[in-house]
Amino acid sequence: MVKPSVFVTRRWPAAVEAKLAEDYNVVLNTSDKPLSPAEIRSALKTHDAVLPTVTDTLNAEALDAPGAQTRILGNYGVGYSHICAASARDLGLTVTNTPDVLSECTADLAMTLMLMVARRAGEGERELRAGGWTGWRPTHLVGTKVSGKVLGIIGYGRIGQEMARRAHHGFGMEVVVYNRSCVAPEVLARCNATQVDTIEELLPRCDFVSLHCPGGAENRHLINSRRLDLMTPDAFLINTARGEVIDEFALIQALQYDLIGGAALDVFDGEPRVSPELLHCDNLVMLPHLGSATKEAREAMGFRVLDNLADFFQGRDPRDRVI
């Protein structure tokens, strides 16, 4: 039996690539650079499956491939807003993602960012590396206590719930939740969380706000100047979701004029480009999209794609089908 042809758009963990090579006729993007729309169209025309990541823009232009050979896009990651759903449907493509397996590690990273920005860890490290530390003193880099504070979570899916578990059971934080749909009472009860009806109701109540909602056009600039104005002057914003969820110009203004206490970002609008103005905000912690960057999570993501491919090519509906 001829093995299906699979194209992988970026380099994956070695263990996953080895298993792919065992099960399929695999072509790797050895340059490990994001592909152009033309390169994506070429892959769609010559392979049975294409395995993209968040760095691949599979918009209408890239998916303009009538008669494509590809039948499934096995996305490496949870979010799939970089894939044009309408175009994928027009081509008759099945699209899958990789939920569950990265939730804990992404929540760990969100907690890391929250603690860093609250305790001014980024500023402290920069000072040390620059040789500017003159010793301990009572007023030096005084930050904000995290334990016992109020955490607002926007998007209460798997990652949001893991964030709440860490915050509530580890740091005794009160959890307030906004979610597009009603969260089951038993799910809220796990962290004694309270669900509110609007983001506007959530923001003024919180010392920290952590974003865990999907990206895409629907949530573009969900956090804008009007909503930033609703945060208290000493509150902090954390984003490990998608860069486009925040209006970065509005955030820069809020940080420069101390309208909020600070922010911590793992994702950026238009990444890997980062606004130069963000780089000059001392009350901002930035990491280069490390949410799922653990050996355990990245391997599990790859093997989850393999599970979906096996289902598809053996005639079953993939467990993680999203389109």
Q: Which residues are catalytic?
A: 242, 271, 289
Distance CA(226)–CA(247), nearest Å, equals 10
Question: For residue 234, how far is the Cα from the chain centroid?
Answer: 25
Task: Give, rounded to a whole angstrom, the gap between the first and last alpha carbons of the chain.
Answer: 28
State the DSSP string of 204-251: GG-SEEEE----SGGGTTSB-HHHHTTS-TT-EEEE-S-GGGB-HHHH
As a whole number of angstroms, the distance between CA 250 and CA 230 comes to 13
| Tokens read off for 234 | 């000493």
DSSP percent split of the chain into helix, strand, coil, nearest 5: 35, 15, 50
Dihedral angle of Cα 136, 138, 140, 143, to the nearest 10 degrees: 120
User: Cis omega before residue 272 (within 30°)?
Assistant: yes
